[in-house]
A and B are shown apart, each in its own frame.
Chain A
């Protein structure tokens, strides 16, 4: 990661601890989350934003263009607003129409470009975009809150704060496609641009601009309804709207199909934590800043709600954890004798996984100077890491399995529950799904998303084979090529592999979703089932037009009551 890190007294955490699904499903956003990386860069580089076009009628149908001008290039969000009948409003991949659809355009679109996009972007997967488009996405209204806000504003009133807090956003995106999907530009073709080197910057920029558009749209609709009485949202209340997202199973395989990239994300965060834990002392200012963030995190935990039994239990634990942390902080010395390491070790025995991982993120908050630079290490050139090393001795390959998958070797794979699930792709609009191996005829369609079982299968074949080299073994066992690649990657990249059974009967896909979404910077994880989660993004963030050096950092936790005035 960095030559500095070799001398640290505290090492990054063991992958066997970090890469468990229950812990990954408790990750929180941090300074290294991609939304925060984006706003930090745009502020540092003085990006300018403008509403280039806004042409939407009283039914809410029309188009808009928002431009983001960086130091070398301009990117434009092209938005198409729709008047969607309620029976068509679905957040599933199998939906065919949405309240609004978007693309992030590379440059400023001409009228011809916008007309071309108008014929394709509203169709999403059924349309076609080009190398000038960097993303493709869509969003649906939160029906409850949308009408409430339009109604209040049109009458010259502000919407009820409690109801705003209850939902937290006016529209939910239901997919944000990037990198080459449906004809868009490949990530490779833009990865050398400094603004897109960190992961998912295209998608985060698109969502950041989408949030601004949605707020402009709701105020516009209120004005059209009652031009004489309508008012705009109060700026402080406006910031309490994030942009929602509804994420299904489709995102989960990403964590398994991009092992090097996932390693680099987690390694960056773990190194950041190790750096902070290794500090011999902290200043009074740093300690006080940390306490302030803890207080704000308490508010965050209080306002975070869910109806899902698993998350209700986790939130109860988190609130209890935050109370225990607050109590501990009334006495704790946060300035001497490796204060952060002492606090971290206390938390390991005193808090639940939710609380422990919240603390990990909080510990990074006062230390931008040690943490933020690590976002440069979160990128991966995946075209460089997929080739198999055929010269590896099979004895070494076996030893890697014994080390990385030791837990999987102890599982009885003949047990029904151990291989209860099948990850597959449905022919209906290619929607990713998961099913029951023993009840549904889906095994022939199984995707390679069960590395633990596959590594164990290979291990048994390796034990029975007298080949010395991986090349010889693979020539007679081509069915293991996929998992040889994984094992060799995991041997080189410590956080590349999940240390849990991804086809077990008790596996919760929402744990995979949360791990990824936390790196985006999402908050308020609200699972709707074991494989589908709603989140809030950019809540409390400044809007494009009011982004400044003073507010680009530290916005993710709710403001303290006095600061919100």
Chain B
């Protein structure tokens, strides 16, 4: 089914919250899926895969230790949403010439929007690379060189983020709609549903503050 970008963002934000992320991190997950879908990349699929695999995983297990090289999680792969946010928060270091190397990371496609944001904030070219994929953002344009397998990889053991002065591959053109499979939509919906309070007769009557009929 075809979705608008705001539907994708809203569903993804709620699904991330439902999977256990705090609202502020869930907001980044929503923006992340929106960005990837607008770039014609399978962002909603990657997010659904991540949230299902990491459902309710404690934050301290999957956040990066940013003082180590490479950045590592305490237990298992890094969460790309949390790691992307941390990269963006430290964007100035990359612009200054520091390279960030990530160890084992889940669904690395979900890192791409953070790289784009970091580049836009600092007005500096930044690239991200793993086996089979290089993405570069510069002058508010995104270039990607890849194959379908590298885009959809569920885990990747070495990822390098560095300042870039040239780009390669094809420029991404933005779109305003995205097709999402029934399976992905169902996965995100199931998680998002956890953020909705069960209906009760009391909340039905008082919660919205209006009566049930409108015959006047």
Residues of A within 8 A of B (CB): 86-87, 89-95, 128, 130-131, 140, 142-144, 172, 174, 179-189, 246, 248-249, 383, 386-391, 424-428, 430-435, 440, 442, 445, 447-448, 469-471, 474-475, 478-485, 509, 528-532
Q: Does B68 contact A (CB under 8 A)?
A: no
In the complex, the answer to whether B24 meets A484 with C-beta atoms within 8 Å is yes
Interface residues as binary, B172-216 with A (CB distance below 8 Å gives 1, 0 otherwise): 000011000000000000000101111110111011111111111
Give the Cβ gap from B32 to chain A, nearest Cβ, in Å.
Answer: 12
Tell which of A92, A428, A475 touches B199, judged by Cβ atoms closer than 8 Å.
A428
Q: Give A24 Cβ to nearest chain B Cβ, in Å.
A: 18
Contacting pair A93 B208 (CB below 8 A): yes
Chain A residue nearest to B38 (CB atoms) is A188
- Measured CB to CB, the closest approach of chain B to A297, in angstroms, equals 28
B197 and A248: CB pair below 8 A? no
Q: Which chain B residue shows the least CB distance to A431?
A: B208
Q: Which residues of A contact B145 (CB under 8 A)?
A: none
Find chain A residues with CB under 8 A from B89 CB.
Answer: 388, 390-391, 469-471, 474-475
Which of B88, B198, B203 makes the CB contact (< 8 A) with A388? B88
> Given that A142-B216, A432-B208, A475-B63 are contacting pairs, would A480 and B86 also be in contact in the complex, using a CB cutoff of 8 Å?
no
Cross-chain contact of A433 among B177, B203, B213 (Cβ < 8 A) = B203
Does any Cβ of A come within 8 Å of B112's Cβ? no
Additional A-B contact list (13), CB under 8 Å, known A128-B1, A428-B204: A89-B215, A142-B216, A185-B4, A189-B176, A246-B210, A383-B31, A424-B196, A425-B197, A426-B197, A427-B197, A431-B207, A442-B203, A530-B209
Using A478-B63, A479-B24, A481-B22 as known contacts, say yes or no to A188 and B209 having CB atoms under 8 A apart: no
Q: List A contacts of B209 (CB < 8 A).
A: 248-249, 434, 509, 528-532
Instruction: A427 to B197: give the CA distance in the assembly, Å.
Output: 6
Q: Determine whether B91 belongs to the interface, using a CB cutoff of 8 Å to chain A.
A: yes
Q: Which of B88, B207, B215 contacts A86 (CB 8 A)?
A: B215
Query: Closest approach, in angstroms, between the C-beta of A145 and any C-beta of chain B?
Result: 9
Chain A residue with Cβ nearest B197: A445
Nearest chain B residue, comparing its CB with the CB of A443: B197
* Partner among A390, A482, A532 whose Cβ is within 8 Å of the Cβ of B24: A482
- In the complex the two chains form, is B210's CB within 8 Å of A92's CB? yes
List B contacts of A445 (CB < 8 A).
Answer: 195-197
Smallest beta-carbon distance A444→chain B, Å: 8
How long is the Cα–Cα vector from A482 to B22 in the complex, in angstroms? Answer: 8
Q: Nearest-CB distance from B97 to chain A (Å)? A: 15
B positions within 8 Å CB-CB of A: 1-7, 21-25, 27-28, 31, 59, 63-64, 66, 82, 85-86, 88-92, 117, 121, 176-177, 193, 195-200, 202-204, 206-216
Check if A181 sits within 8 Å of B197, measured CB to CB: no
Q: Is the CB of A474 within 8 A of B196?
A: no
**How far apart are the CA atoms of A528 and B23 in the complex, in Å?**
32
The binding surface of chain A is classed by DSSP as mixed
Q: Which residues of B contact A440 (CB under 8 A)?
A: 200, 202-203
Contacting residue for A248 out of B31, B121, B208, CB 8 A: B208
- Determine the residue in chain B with the shortest Cβ distance to A422: B197
C-alpha spacing A334/B207, complex, angstroms:
49
Name the B residues within 8 Å of A430 (CB-CB): 196
A143, B5: Cβ atoms under 8 Å? no
A186-B212 contact given A387-B88, A390-B88, CB 8 Å threshold: no
**A186 touching B5 in the complex, CB below 8 Å, given contacts A92-B210, A481-B25, A532-B208:** yes
Interface centre among B1, B63, B196 (most CB of A within 10 A): B196
A482 near B208: Cβ-Cβ < 8 Å: no
Bound CA–CA A91/B206 (angstroms):
15
B86: which A residues are within 8 A, CB to CB? 471, 474-475
Check B6 against A424 for contact (C-beta < 8 Å). Answer: no
A496 nearest CB across to chain B (Å): 16
**A328: min CB distance to chain B, Å:** 38
User: In the complex, A300 Cα to B195 Cα: how many Å?
Assistant: 44
- CB contacts (< 8 Å) of A442 on chain B: these are 197, 203
Q: How far is the CA of A170 from the CA of B216 in the complex (A)?
A: 11
A89 touches B6 (CB 8 A): no
> Chain B nearest CB: distance from A469 CB in Å?
8
For A431, list chain B residues within 8 Å (CB): 207-208
Which of B24, B90, B200 lies in contact with A485, CB distance below 8 A? B24
Closest to A131 in B: B177
Pair B3/A479 contact, Cβ less than 8 Å: no
Contact in complex: A427, B198 (CB < 8 Å): yes
User: Do A424 and B197 form a contact, CB below 8 Å, given A143-B216, A531-B208?
Assistant: yes
13 contacts between A and B (CB under 8 A): A90-B214, A95-B214, A180-B6, A181-B6, A430-B196, A431-B208, A432-B208, A435-B203, A440-B203, A471-B86, A475-B64, A481-B24, A528-B210
Q: Which residues of A have CB within 8 Å of B177?
A: 131
Q: How far, in Å, is A228 (CB) from chain B's closest CB? A: 31
Distance between B212 CB and nearest chain A CB, rounded to angstroms: 5
Decide yes or no: A183 and B2 within 8 Å by CB, A93-B208, A248-B208, A479-B22 being known contacts: yes
Complex Cα–Cα for A187 and B22 (A): 27
Let me know if B176 and A185 touch, CB within 8 A: yes
Q: Contact check, A434 vs B207: say whether CB atoms are below 8 A apart.
A: yes
Contacts of B21 on A, CB cut-off 8 Å? 478
Nearest CB on A from B61, distance (A): 13
Task: Tell me the bound Cα distance from A86 to B209 in angstroms.
Answer: 21
**How distant is the Cα of A251 from the Cα of B117 in the complex, in angstroms?**
30
Q: A555 to chain B: closest CB distance in Å?
A: 27
Min CB distance A359 to B, Å, is: 30
For the complex, give the distance between the alpha carbons of A50 and B127 in Å. Answer: 53
- Distance in Å: Cβ of A168 to nearest Cβ of chain B: 13
Q: How many whole Å from A534's CB to the nearest CB in chain B?
A: 10
* Interface residue from B1, B85, B92, B199 paired with A474 (Cβ < 8 Å): B85
A461-B3 Cα distance, complex, nearest whole Å: 40
Residue of A nearest to B6 (CB): A180
User: How far apart are A196's CB and chain B's nearest CB, in angstroms?
Assistant: 14
Could you say which residues of chain B place their CB within 8 Å of the CB of A428? 199, 204
Taking a contact as CB atoms closer than 8 A, the residue among A142, A184, A432, A448 that contacts B23 in the complex is A448
- Chain B contacts for A184, CB-based, 8 A: 4
Q: Are B214 and A248 in contact (CB under 8 A)?
A: no
Complex CA distance for A7 and B48, rounded to whole angstroms: 54
Q: With a CB–CB cut-off of 8 A, which chain B residues contact A180? A: 4-7
Closest Cβ–Cβ distance, residue B159 to chain A (whole Å): 18
Chain A residues near B197 (CB-CB < 8 A)? 424-427, 433, 435, 442, 445
Ranked 9 nearest A-B pairs via Cβ = A481-B24, A390-B89, A433-B207, A531-B209, A180-B6, A180-B4, A482-B24, A471-B89, A427-B196
